Structure 1
């Protein structure tokens, strides 16, 4: 039907006919690059060994829902307690012009899905009704060069109630084999109440 309407528009010389065209896959090579380098299993062990103010953290990013777009199931845990992640999320990756948006979702029953990365097809049973958007917490990235992306959340847009915080901020750098992530929470007066103070965690792909 769309193709018929588009042909009719062309024949009549009408303007504004682009909306009648059949949608195409608009993934850029940069988008595919970002999705590819983000997925995997990471550890901050090297940083933790050099600086005792940092913990050895496991970060897993597993691709799911491939037929729906670009989604990653994310688990973050102390490396020696990977069966007890303190953060479970779903990231949806989209592109808007030269920006790449990582939209963040929580899970209503996250314990049900922990550890399924070993059999990722299990996530096919997870539906959009099982997740909730963290409004204002999306990370906006830009490509700085081959396999290098950098970005952050908006200024005071991501609400947080952890340890007396009012809002949270995240700064992220993604390269082919590393992810640097600096998450911080601030109270109503702008005082940091949680998160690393020296700089971000440095995760190396295993």
Structure 2
């Protein structure tokens, strides 16, 4: 009887250790994503690309892995064209970046400078973009790659019917390619030659 109990305890400890290890990997991904980026180098090398500022700031630390995200032209950072909240979760060997919109996004622009301000934001103030989550897998030491599902993310921007996004991430760069397509599969917005290369600046 004692032997059986000992085996059960050991099995439970092993499962806990594996869970802790996976959570540590999720935290590694989270730490890679957070920070301030721009595409200045790419914009100087190729005039088809703009210098875009991308900020991903940790919020709601006691609730999980949440990032407040602002994306804007580098010279118009006070007027971001994309305001989101990302929530990172894990499912097996896959990491999921859920995408949320903010119902009153104008009230939160610039608040990334004081992340504690988001403690007043509630889950009722954000809305999940169904089908727009990015599914990531680890591809190497501190490198990840993934994409949205095929035609799963609805979009009405500039006549689009759906949007696709692909992402690759390392310690120094985030490459993101967002494209919108109409119902016939014709691209109607987004970069055409490849993704935006965002260099991490801090």
Same fold (TM over 0.5): yes
**1:55-78: per-residue Cα shift (whole Å, max 9, x none)?**
000000000001010000000000
- In the alignment, the residues of structure 2 paired with residue 26 and residue 90 of structure 1 have an alpha-carbon distance, to the nearest angstrom, of 25
Work out which of the residue numbers 133, 137, 142 in structure 2 matches 1:142: 137
Equivalent residue, structure 1, for 2:85: 90
1:151 corresponds to 2:169: no
Equivalent residue, structure 1, for 2:181: 186
Unpaired runs of at least 5, structure 1: 1-9, 12-17
Work out which of the residue numbers 19, 32, 45 in structure 2 matches 1:50: 45
Equivalent residue, structure 1, for 2:76: 81
Equivalent residue, structure 2, for 1:29: 24
More helix by share: 2
- In the alignment, the residues of structure 2 paired with residue 26 and residue 69 of structure 1 have an alpha-carbon distance, to the nearest angstrom, of 16
Deviation at 1:27, TM superposition (A): 4.5
Equivalent residue, structure 1, for 2:101: 106
- In the alignment, the residues of structure 2 paired with residue 27 and residue 121 of structure 1 have an alpha-carbon distance, to the nearest angstrom, of 27
- In the alignment, the residues of structure 1 paired with residue 35 and residue 132 of structure 2 have an alpha-carbon distance, to the nearest angstrom, of 22
- Output the TM-score relative to the length of structure 1: 0.87
Size of the aligned set, in residue pairs, is: 187
Deviation at 1:29, TM superposition (A): 2.7
Equivalent residue, structure 2, for 1:6: none
- Output the TM-score relative to the length of structure 2: 0.89
Q: Secondary structure at the residue paired with 2:50?
A: coil
Deviation at 1:91, TM superposition (A): 0.3
Deviation at 1:160, TM superposition (A): 0.2
Deviation at 1:28, TM superposition (A): 2.8
Q: Secondary structure at the residue paired with 1:58?
A: strand
Which piece of structure 1 moves more, 29-38 or 147-156?
29-38
Equivalent residue, structure 1, for 2:117: 122
- In the alignment, the residues of structure 2 paired with residue 29 and residue 123 of structure 1 have an alpha-carbon distance, to the nearest angstrom, of 24
**1:123-170: per-residue Cα shift (whole Å, max 9, x none)?**
111110100010000000000011100000001000000000000000
Unpaired runs of at least 5, structure 2: 6-11
Q: Cα RMSD over matched residues?
A: 1.6
Deviation at 1:93, TM superposition (A): 0.1
